Amino acid sequence: MADLSSKAQVAKRIHCHKSCFWIVFKILVQTSSLELFMYFRIRNPAFGLFSTHTNFSLISSSSSQRSYHHLMANLSSEAQVGKRLEGKVALITGAAQGIGACMARVFVNHGAKVVCVDINEELGRSVCDDLGAENASFLYCDVTKESDIENAINRTVHEHGKLDIMINNAGIADEGKTSILDNDLSDFERVMRLNLSGVFLGIKHAARVMIPARSGGIINLGSISGSIGGITSHSYSSSKHAVVGLTRNAAAELGKHGIRVNCLSSHVVLTPLSQNFFNFGEEGQSRVYTNLEGMVLKPEDLANAAVYLASEEARFMSGHNLMLDGGFTVTNPAFGLFSRF
């Protein structure tokens, strides 16, 4: 009988441990990092409120169970929605192809109404046709002209009643001459006008309509070239460094109006722009050094990162330069300590 009693106790412990495992597992798969912290903050004996012998059966107590189910009900309702930008209105520059077109598609998938602006009317309208007239519309806009930007934002607000998200994506790269002696001022100014002045105008006029609403999110597209040197041309690198500085300065000013301004900087993405700049052949992006072996950065990766920056999940993030580079900018292979060669 004693042996049977001992076996029964062991079986009971195993059942308890299994129950604890599934409770923790459900929390992990349904909870954000912040919510997970808040949950374990009241359970973790390391914080000292409870002893190290706290019994997980406390979860079964009525008060704990009510708190647990209330938390999980909120999390489940959010997880089931899935559309992180439901009811939002976004304007994306340079949306006719490449990263901008991909962002438009992903934003629509997350419930946003998207206004695609570009100078390539044929491709831009094609993108919007694919997304459906109820989800996306196209406006011709040269971001280097203030009147075009002003008009695009005014028409967006007129059609949708507001502007929640402004994405300054339009950009250009020059030939990339290796010697500064061979660079022409006209080429330098052309790149700066589009990559920097275009972003400035986008921020300015987005802020104009967001300030009265006391809310909004602005995302500027940067580059790893805006953090380190020696990767791209003088003009492109200068423009992207400036975009990061402009992002931080705008965030410092506009925060008092509830407007968040962030930058999204990436490693090389295989797009028409990068293909022309780097002269990619059939090998494509595999020719470019990356710190993450076997990983290729795709436009969808940037689009998903932009969704995060535009969503309520990033509601306290502003003035940040989100690096989507696989650790490239923190890795110097010349030192050789972690060399793969």
Per-residue pLDDT tens over the stretch 214-268: 999 999 999 998 989 988 899 999 999 999 999 999 999 999 999 999 999 998 8
pLDDT digits (tens, 9 = 90+) for 217-230: 999 999 998 989 98
Least confident of 7-16, 135-144, 185-194, 238-247: 7-16
> Greater confidence, 58 or 100?
100
CB neighbourhood size of 83 (10 A) = 14
**Could you please report the per-residue DSSP string of 230-254?**
SSS-HHHHHHHHHHHHHHHHHHHHH
Q: Average the pLDDT over 295-299 and give the result.
A: 87
Residue 109 has pLDDT above 50, yes or no: yes
**pLDDT the model gives residue 50:** 39
- Entry pTM: 0.74
Residue 302 has pLDDT above 60, yes or no: yes
**pLDDT the model gives residue 334:** 73
Least confident of 68-82, 122-136, 244-258: 68-82
> Greater confidence, 4 or 223?
223
Q: Average the pLDDT over 19-23 and give the result.
A: 51
Percent of the residues in the chain that have a pLDDT greater than 90, as a whole number: 58
CA 103 to CA 87: how far, in whole Å?
16
Q: With contact defined as beta carbons under 8 Å apart, do 141 and 193 qualify?
A: no
- Structural domains in the chain plus CATH codes: 10-48 (no CATH), 89-280+289-324 (3.40.50.720)
> Greater confidence, 86 or 230?
86
> Greater confidence, 93 or 278?
93
Residue 333 has pLDDT above 60, yes or no: yes
Q: With contact defined as beta carbons under 8 Å apart, do 229 and 330 qualify?
A: no
Task: Report H helices in the chain.
Answer: 2-30, 33-41, 62-81, 98-109, 121-131, 146-160, 185-192, 198-213, 234-254, 272-278, 299-310
Fill in the DSSP letter of residue 292: S
**pLDDT the model gives residue 16:** 52
CB neighbourhood size of 217 (10 A) = 27
The residues annotated with a catalytic role in the active site are 236
Residues 6+ positions from 334 with CB-CB distance below 8 Å = none
